[in-house]
Amino acid sequence: MKIMRVFLIILFTIIFNLNSAFAYDLVLPKEKKTITSSNFAFFVGKAGKDESIVINDERIYLASNGAFAHSVKLKDGENRIIIKSNYSTQVYKVHKIVQEKSLELELIDLEPQLYVVKKDNTPLRKTPIDFGMNRLSHLFEGTYIIVNGKKGDFYRVLLSKDDEAWIHKNSVKIAEREICPKFITMNSETYKNASKHTIEFTEKLPYTIRENDKEIVFKVYNPLVSENSIYTVNIRKPNKYTYETISYNGVYVFKVNEICRPENNTLEGLTIVVDAGHGGSEKGAIGCLGNCEKDINLKIATELKDILSLMGANVIMTREVDGNVELDERVKLAKNNFSNLFISIHLNSIPDIKFDIHKNKGTSVYYYNKNSKELAESVLNSLTCTLNTRKEGVKTASFAVLRPTEYIGILVEVAYMVNPLDSVLYTKSEFPRETAQAIAEGILNFTRTEY
C-alpha cells in the first residue's frame, strides 16, 4: 500500500513536470477576462518545446526561442478567444467598450478679452486639436494674451491681423488689470559660436518660433497696441545648433548656439545625456519571454556611457540603477548640465493596430525639433547596419524629453519587445554592447558630417 502511494506521488510529479515543461506561458493578456477600449487583443508569450499554438483556429508563428505574438481584432462588446496548444484549450473573454463618436466641436467667436498665462512652459498651439506636433512656443507665466474665440477646451488667441493660435482654457485666467505694453529696445550680439537677440517690452507678450530650411524665425506679438505690431528676428541657422528662449519681466532673450565639430575623431567638448527609458515601477514594454524593457534599456545605456566616455564626451546618466525617474527630472538634468545631446533608449511596445510580425519589427528613431533630424538619421543608419534590423525609419513625436530646443534630442526604439523575431535578437548577451556601439558610431558620424 505504502509502495503504491509512493509510486502514485512519483507518477503525478512526472506528469506535472512534463506539463509545465511543455505548456506555454502568456505575458499578455494578464487576465482571462478583460475590459478594453482597444481595437485589438494581444496574445504574447512563449510556447514550450515542440508545442504548437492555435488562436481562434489560426496557427501562430513561433520564433526559434518559442516566442509568439498575435493580435485579434475585437468587435464591440463581448469577444471569445480560444487558445489551443497540444496540452490545453483556454477561453479568454475580452469586452470591448463601445466608444462614443466625438461630435465635431463648434467654433464660437468671443468678445476680445485680456487673459494671463498661469504657469511657465504653457504650450501655444497652431490648432486646437493637437497631437503635440503643432506647438508654436511655450509661453511664460504672466504672459498677456487676447482671447477672441473658443473651440472645445481651447481658446483662440489673437496674435496679429494674419496670425492666431490656441491655448488650453485651464492654462489661463482673466487678467486683473488693464495693460498697455510698450516696446523698449531690440538688440543682437554675435559671439564665436553663438548669437543672442534681445527684445524688450514693458510686459510679457506672446511669441512664436518657426523654423524653415535656412532660418529660425522668432516673433513677439503686441496685439494690444495694433494687429500689425510684430517684432521679428530672423537668425541664419548654423550647421548644428540648439537654441533657448529666456524671459524675465518683459525682456525676451533668444540664444542660438552652434555645436562645433570635435577634434581628432573624438567627442571631446560635448556633454551627452544618456537616458535609460522607464525604471522602477515603470517597467516599459514586456517582451514575449517576460523580459522588461526597463532592464534592457539600462544595460544599453550603461554600455553607451562607457563607450561615449572613452570617446571623450562628458556623459550624464538619467538613471544608473533600476528606479523611478520622472520625465521632467530627466529634462531638468539635461538643461542644468548644459547638455548638447540627449539620447533616450527604448524598445518598442505594441501599437493598437493589427500586429504583423514582419512589419512591427526593427528599429525606429524619434525626434521632435528640426535641429535633431540629422542625428536621428545618422543613429538609425548605424543601428540598422550593425544589428541588421529592419529600418522602420525616422519619425517625429511629441515626447516630453524631446521637446526642449536646448539640446539635440532623439529617442531610439532599438527593436520591438513583443516581436518574436526581435526577441531572439534582444536576448542575446552581446546585444546591449553592439547596440551601444552602433549608437555611439551614429553620434560620431553626425558630429563629423556637414549638413
Q: Which amino acid is at 360?
A: N
Q: What contacts 20, CB < 8 A, 6 or more positions away? A: none
Q: Which is nearer to Zn ion, 284 or 420 (CB)?
A: 284
Give the Cα separation of 298 and 321 in Å (integer).
8
Beta bridge partners of 244: 255
Give the Cα separation of 310 and 361 in Å (integer).
31
Sheet holding 67-73, edge to edge: 25-28, 40-46, 67-73
Q: Which is nearer to Zn ion, 275 or 441 (CB)?
A: 275
Q: What string of DSSP letters covers 18-57?
A: HHHHHS-EEEE-SSSEEEE-SSEEEEEEE--TT--EEETT
Q: Which is nearer to Zn ion, 227 or 295 (CB)?
A: 295
Chain residues in the site for Zn ion (CB under 5 A): 277, 284, 346
What's the min distance (Å) between Cβ of 346 and Zn ion?
Answer: 3
Q: Which is nearer to Zn ion, 272 or 401 (CB)?
A: 401
Q: What are phi and psi of 57, to 5 degrees?
A: 70, 5
Cell of 260: 562645433
Q: Which is nearer to Zn ion, 203 or 295 (CB)?
A: 295
What's the min distance (Å) between Cβ of 45 and Zn ion?
Answer: 20
Q: Which is nearer to Zn ion, 124 or 286 (CB)?
A: 286
For residue 362, the 8-state DSSP code is S
Closest residue to Zn ion using C-beta atoms: 346
Cβ proximity of 89 and 119 under 8 Å? no
Q: What contacts 235, CB < 8 A, 6 or more positions away? A: 195, 197, 215, 216, 217, 218, 254, 256
* E-assigned strand segments in 86-153: 89-96, 107-117, 122-125, 135-139, 144-151
What's the min distance (Å) between Cβ of 28 and Zn ion?
Answer: 16
What's the min distance (Å) between Cβ of 140 and Zn ion?
Answer: 31
| 127-165 b/e (C-beta count within 10 Å ≥ 16 → b) | ebeeeeebbbbbbbebbbbbbbbbbbebbbbbbbeebeb
Q: Kindly list the distances between the CA atom of residue 376 and the CA atoms of 133, 141, 349, 365, 410, in Å, as whole numbers in the listed order.
A: 17, 32, 19, 6, 6
**SS3 of 367, please?**
strand
Q: Which is nearer to Zn ion, 237 or 330 (CB)?
A: 330
Give the Cα separation of 184 and 199 in Å (integer).
8
Q: Which is nearer to Zn ion, 346 or 390 (CB)?
A: 346
Q: Which is nearer to Zn ion, 286 or 341 (CB)?
A: 286
What's the min distance (Å) between Cβ of 277 and Zn ion?
Answer: 4
Q: Which is nearer to Zn ion, 66 or 284 (CB)?
A: 284
| 6-41 b/e (C-beta count within 10 Å ≥ 16 → b) | eeeeeeeeeeeeeeeebebebbbbeeeebebeeebb
Q: What are phi and psi of 25, to 5 degrees?
A: -115, 130
What's the min distance (Å) between Cβ of 345 and Zn ion?
Answer: 9
What's the min distance (Å) between Cβ of 284 and Zn ion?
Answer: 4
Is the torsion defined by CA of 349, 122, 252, 337 positive or negative? negative
Output the CA torsion 285→289→290→295 (10° steps): -60
Cell of 365: 528613431
Q: Which is nearer to Zn ion, 97 or 400 (CB)?
A: 400
Q: Which of 274, 351, 358, 355 is nearest to 318 (CA)?
A: 274
